[in-house]
Structure 1
Amino acid sequence: MLPPPITVSRLDVSRIEPLLDDLDDDQVLGLEDELLRATVVEPRSMPADVVTMNSRVRCREENSGREWSVTLVYPQDAGKPDTVSILAPVGAALLGLAKGQSIDWPGRNGRTLRIVILDVEYQPEAAGDYDL
């Protein structure tokens, strides 16, 4: 399955790119690939249903039906409850997805999990919070 199209804000790209210098090759390639395939827009033009940095997202794993919410954060904010770092593979995969889109994710025992974005519960751009 081809990855779905994604949209990323110019502000997020400008904040993520400096992080790439401190990563190993595998992490850099995954995150760079996501940024390279993204449509980049100005923060004020970001659709409200797209996952951006510091967005709180409601997800569902299709096979189990399990639902959860998580906030996509920069590495310095990771480790808090219900957060995932942009440097984690799943964090990089969530960036730029819109409500209703899904990604296939390698799970335990080689099973593929399909994660669906149910809702973007909070998005900084939609709330006018450009300094997060």
Structure 2
Amino acid sequence: MHKNLAGERLLTELDFTRLNKLRGGPLPAALVDALDAQDLVPSREIPPDIVTMYSQVIVEDLASRKRQKLTLCYPSDAEPHLGFISVLSPVGASLLGQRVGATARWRTPNGDTCAAEIVTLLFQPEASGDYTT
């Protein structure tokens, strides 16, 4: 089991296994670091306020105070214009494993620093009894 020294982020064992299969391609450094540092738990034991794959969240940009709904997904399902954000994107990697109330931080491809608070978790597959998505 991987341990996060700060104990801040959790990941289901299933998400960890599936995301590690993506390591054959170019993964963002932030995601590699996250996979190497997160605490792992069985899907049935993940707290309902943790962002897992296919979770739907409301985030609030700390600079603009603009809120938006995002769904964290795998690259093949990404449709950013519809709010489906790939876990391989900077914002997606920063959301994975975070708890409601946490601040996700990332850098854009042009180097800008961004931050958003996870305001609400609208949907988490595991909380609805889906342990295999």
Letter in 2 for 1:95: L
CA apart distance, 1:110: 5.9
CA apart distance, 1:28: 4.7
Letter in 1 for 2:116: I
User: TM-score when scaled to structure 2?
Assistant: 0.86
Q: State the SS of the aligned residue for 2:57.
A: strand
**Counterpart pick for 1:12 among 12, 15, 33:** 15
For the 8 Å contact 2:74–2:87, the answer to whether it is kept is yes
Query: Which of the pair is proportionally richer in helix?
Result: 1
Paired position in structure 1 for 2:74: 74
State the percentage of identical aligned residues: 35
CA apart distance, 1:31: 1.4
What is the root-mean-square deviation of aligned Cα atoms in Å? 2.1
Q: State the SS of the aligned residue for 2:64.
A: coil
Q: Distance in 2 between matches of 1:110 and 1:90?
A: 13
Matches within 5 A, 1:87-102: 87-102=88-103
Structure 1 stretches of 5 or more lacking a match?
Answer: none
Structure 2 stretches of 5 or more lacking a match?
Answer: 1-5
For the 8 Å contact 1:72–1:83, the answer to whether it is kept is yes
CA apart distance, 1:37: 1.4
2:40 is the alignment partner of 1:37: no
Aligned residues: 127
CA apart distance, 1:108: 9.0
Letter in 2 for 1:12: D
Q: Bigger CA drift: 80-89 or 52-61?
A: 80-89
For the 8 Å contact 2:28–2:89, the answer to whether it is kept is no
CA apart distance, 1:130: 1.9
For the 8 Å contact 2:52–2:97, the answer to whether it is kept is yes
CA apart distance, 1:131: 2.6
CA apart distance, 1:6: 0.5
